Amino acid sequence: MSTADPVLSLIRPEILALTPYSSARKESSGGRIWLDANENPRTPSASLPPAVLANQALLNLNRYPDPQPADLVAALAAYYEANPANVLVTRGSDEGIDLLLRAFCRAGQGAILITPPTYGMYSVSAAIQNARVVSVPLLPGKNFAVDVSAVVKAATPEVKLVFLCSPNNPTGGLLERASVLQIAQALLGRAVVVVDEAYLEFAGTPSLLKDVGALPNLVVLRTLSKAFGLAGVRCGVTLAHPALIGVLQKIIAPYPIPTPILQAALAAISPAGLAATHASVKLLVSERKRVSAALATFPAVRRVWPSDANFVLFEVTDAAKVMAATRAAGVVLRDRSRDYGLVNHVRMTMGTAEENNAAVEAIAHV
């Protein structure tokens, strides 16, 4: 039996059998004169903004980009301490979620399992794919810990994917490593466990990625949108067993990484970029501590949940009042009251110290 079998056996058979689109850039190598991809030999310079014209590396925008640029894949693999074969670069981690749904869930038959309250895109991607959503709530009495035995029990044969978010959005806490591994171990050959680590840098704890080798049904999602401050770049990373990466490569759009994005992502994971990101994370973590402590003293705040992310979830006496007061001060927070079990809960993302002060000041007077 190959190590990939517990994962490949769960993939939609029609996807396994699919002959993927073979793009010109994938098929070609070498050569001097490229007449294979129906590109224009040049971009009229009047069509390019001055910033692009001044940037030599962007003067080939007339060409399709490399589908998975090897230098970016190698740099991301080094940063995440993985092998390049474990890496798929996507348009944000949202695209990774969507690809997984399409690879594993047959419309009208497959299902996913989520642990509410959690990130909303798992259910939305499931709805788009017409996959059922099985919910096993986190345990608020245990600081939103995952209910391991309930998850394993609820993972019926239709459930192909279990989404666990750690640190979890919107509650902010890490899931226990042992719990995630217990679930992945119990579901080996039955379902794939997707650990969404979008906020992991703010937790300062190691990724679960190290266990992908031992547990081929474990998938880790990362992103440059949060700690790296590059939400506008749309660069996400799916880390998984090479056989699963190969399948996702079959169904991803032919050219997902626009040329200007490649430059931005490479700069972010250069040594200088990493040092700057580290400093920015440190600052946001100290703001998180400061803001959490301040919020806890206000009459309108009932409880501040501990956070390992770049946001803080807090329970208030009246969410509508808090939202109105902050809005009047020009500050936009997120009312999470419609999330499972989060009536009168508000989420505040950590901004600059001045931005946070404006929010804190407004909440203090509710």
Ligand X SMILES: Cc1ncc(COP(=O)(O)O)c(C=O)c1O
Binding residue for ligand X, selected from 223, 259, 307, 310, defined by CB under 6 A: 223
Does 196 sit near ligand X (CB under 6 A)?
yes
Does 6 sit near ligand X (CB under 6 A)?
no
Long-range contacts of 282-291 (CB under 8 A, 24+ apart): 284/202, 284/310, 284/350, 285/202, 285/204, 285/310, 287/350, 287/351, 287/353, 287/356, 288/202, 288/312, 288/350, 290/356, 291/348, 291/350, 291/356, 291/359, 291/360
| 246 to 20, 95, 169, 224: CA distances (angstroms) | 11, 16, 29, 22
Residue count, binding to ligand X (CB under 6 A)? 12
Task: Indicate the residue among 86 and 310 with the shorter CB distance to ligand X.
Answer: 310
Task: Indicate the residue among 93 and 277 with the shorter CB distance to ligand X.
Answer: 93
- Helix 121-128 crosses helix 92-104 at what angle (to 10 degrees)? 40
Greatest C-alpha distance within the chain: 70
Residues between 38 and 97 with contacts to ligand X, criterion CB under 6 A: 92-94
Write out the DSSP string of 321-364: HHHHHHHHTT---EE-TTSTT-TTEEEEE---HHHHHHHHHHHH
Task: Indicate the residue among 114 and 331 with the shorter CB distance to ligand X.
Answer: 114
Residues in contact with ligand X, shown as a per-residue x/- string from 306 to 345 under the rule CB under 6 A: ----------------------------------------
Residue 320's CB: how many other CB atoms inside 10 A?
A: 11
Task: Indicate the residue among 93 and 217 with the shorter CB distance to ligand X.
Answer: 93
Binding residue for ligand X, selected from 115, 125, 129, 169, defined by CB under 6 A: 169
Peptide bond into 299 cis (omega under 30): no
Does 172 sit near ligand X (CB under 6 A)?
no
Binding residue for ligand X, selected from 6, 116, 236, 273, defined by CB under 6 A: 236
What's the min distance (Å) between Cβ of 169 and ligand X? 4
Residue 103 near residue 247, CB atoms below 8 Å? yes
What's the min distance (Å) between Cβ of 104 and ligand X? 18
> What is the token pair recorded at 68?
């998975």
What's the min distance (Å) between Cβ of 42 and ligand X? 33
Task: Indicate the residue among 94 and 339 with the shorter CB distance to ligand X.
Answer: 94
Q: How far apart are CA 167 and CA 221, in angstroms?
A: 12
Task: Indicate the residue among 191 and 198 with the shorter CB distance to ligand X.
Answer: 198
Does 231 sit near ligand X (CB under 6 A)?
yes
Task: Indicate the residue among 121 and 212 with the shorter CB distance to ligand X.
Answer: 121
What's the min distance (Å) between Cβ of 49 and ligand X? 24
Task: Indicate the residue among 6 and 92 with the shorter CB distance to ligand X.
Answer: 92
Write out the DSSP string of 75-96: HHHHHTT--GGGEEEESHHHHH
Q: Looking at beta carbons, which residue is closest to ligand X?
A: 92
Q: In the β-sheet with 111-114, what is the strand arrangement from edge to edge? A: 87-90, 236-239, 218-223, 192-196, 159-165, 111-114, 132-135
Does 207 sit near ligand X (CB under 6 A)?
no
What's the min distance (Å) between Cβ of 341 and ligand X? 17
Q: How far apart are CA 147 and CA 114, in angstroms?
A: 11
Peptide bond into 167 cis (omega under 30): yes
Task: Indicate the residue among 97 and 319 with the shorter CB distance to ligand X.
Answer: 97
Residues between 117 and 146 with contacts to ligand X, criterion CB under 6 A: 119
What's the min distance (Å) between Cβ of 232 and ligand X? 9
Give contact residues for ligand X (rule: CB under 6 A). 92-94, 119, 165, 169, 196, 198, 223, 225, 231, 236
